Amino acid sequence: MSDTHPLREAVHHRRLSDYLALALMYFAQGLPMGLAFEALPTLIRHSGHGMAQIGWVGLAFLPWALKFLWASHIDNLCRKAGISRVVFVTQALVAIACLGMSTLDFRTDLALILMGVVGLNLICATQDIATNAYAVSRLQGKGAGPANAMQVGGFIMGMLAGGGGLLIVHPYLGWSGLMLVFAVLMLALYLPLWLRRDWRRHQPQTPTAVVKLKDLLQHDDLIFAILIAMSFKLASTAVSTLIKAWLIDRGLDLSTAGALQASNLTFMALGSIVIGIPLVRRCGNRSAVGIAGALAMLFLGVALLLEISGWHELRLYYLLFGLQGLFEGAFYVSVWALLMNWASPERPGTDYTTMQCCESLTNMLGASIVGVLGQHFGYLPTFGGAWIIGILAWVLIVRCLSRIELQGESR
């Protein structure tokens, strides 16, 4: 009995260390996404370029949607070289790219800057595969809830820092200064990982054959996992995309609308930790998805309620959209904890990454068509239709839950 407590302490310390590592890596990966989708459109317009140039920013999303195509190669590389080396190389490549981009002028070199931002997202999307492999291989099981809270919270905070954070300091540093800060920040984020002795050690090789993308077909329940990944965020992405225009049409200025969106993201990160983690631990993967999904879909109707009621109180916006963000964050954590525990430990990066790509592809669909629908039908029918789609998606997810097999289960 005397050896039990030190062993438990060692496991607890290792888990905390793993959670910190995940938070740092996911934060780093959120930075270029925030740069592309939050900061870059504003900077492009501020520099005198037209709306057409802003459309090219969407290319930065492609690596995140298509990374499953090279996920198996990164899985194999992580097994041969070690996850820590793969993460270091990608982090260093981002820093080098930022140093190169710091020499460019936003007014005359926009095409090169856009190519560079796409490159940054390509590198970080590749690093994300290695991070997923790390998370699945070390934290599958009871650690999946906190691990995915670190993913949701870390990535959102990275997006906020890479978007609004960089815009705040841009008037003082300019584009070149921003890229130098970006490079230093990426290297600084790796430092706590490098200081961990267990991180610097060569990662133990996972067993057997070379990983291939087609190995996904070994999952008899693959279609049900894909349906969950593709459906759980479709409606909320559509609503959150349309809300940006809705806020402006309700008379909010850009800074106020931006502050409200930042508040919503912060509440989402908070909900992933304070609601998502306890829910997964106490209720288990499947029940947590069902409960959090029901609450998230209920509050997905906030925009519809505000549109019907005509309420235009800013404090009410903060309260209701904040509550929506809390339960969405909990829902995202519960779904990703479920899919983490579904992923095979023999190909952790490939399985988990493919599910992320399924989510990304439907997010692109939702975000791309909701503006057209809003323009054609108006806010009220579009918000209402998205809410109905969200409820139907939740019903579909609940039906799929009993049909997927998690690691460690036997059927």
Which residue in the block uniquely carries the two structure tokens 């060692």? Answer: 10
Q: Is pLDDT above 90 for 34?
A: no
pTM of the shown model: 0.83
Look up residue 212 and give its two tokens. Answer: 């291939």
Q: Crossing angle of helices 379-401/302-309, nearest 10°?
A: 150
Distance (Å) of CA 190 to CA 31, 38, 90: 14, 24, 11
pLDDT tens digit sequence for 122-160: 999 999 999 988 888 888 777 888 888 888 888 888 988
More confident residue, 54 or 370: 370
State which fold the 1-206 domain adopts: Growth Hormone; Chain: A; (1.20.1250)
Residue 80: which pLDDT band, with cuts at 50, 70 and 90?
confident
Question: What pLDDT is stored for residue 304 in this prediction?
Answer: 94
Whole-angstrom distance, CA of residue 323 vs CA of residue 315: 12
Which residue, among 241, 226, 233, 230, has the nearest Cα to 369 in the 3D structure?
241
Question: What's the CATH superfamily of 210-411?
Answer: MFS general substrate transporter like domains (1.20.1250.20)
Question: What pLDDT is stored for residue 231 in this prediction?
Answer: 94
Do residues 79 and 205 make contact, with C-beta atoms less than 8 angstroms apart?
Answer: yes
Question: What pLDDT is stored for residue 319 in this prediction?
Answer: 95
Whole-angstrom distance, CA of residue 138 vs CA of residue 146: 12
The overall average pLDDT reported for the chain is 85
Answer yes or no: same fold for 1-206 and 210-411.
yes
Question: What pLDDT is stored for residue 295 in this prediction?
Answer: 96
Domain assignments of the chain as residue spans, ordered by start: 1-206, 210-411
Amino acid at 388: I
Q: What is the mean pLDDT of residues 98-115?
A: 90
Amino acid at 183: A
Indicate the range of 17-26, 192-201, 289-298, 307-316 predicted with least confidence. 192-201
pLDDT tens digit sequence for 197-238: 666 554 555 555 687 888 888 888 999 999 999 999 999 988
Which residue in the block uniquely carries the two structure tokens 């490159």? Answer: 119
pLDDT tens digit sequence for 285-311: 899 999 999 999 999 999 999 999 988
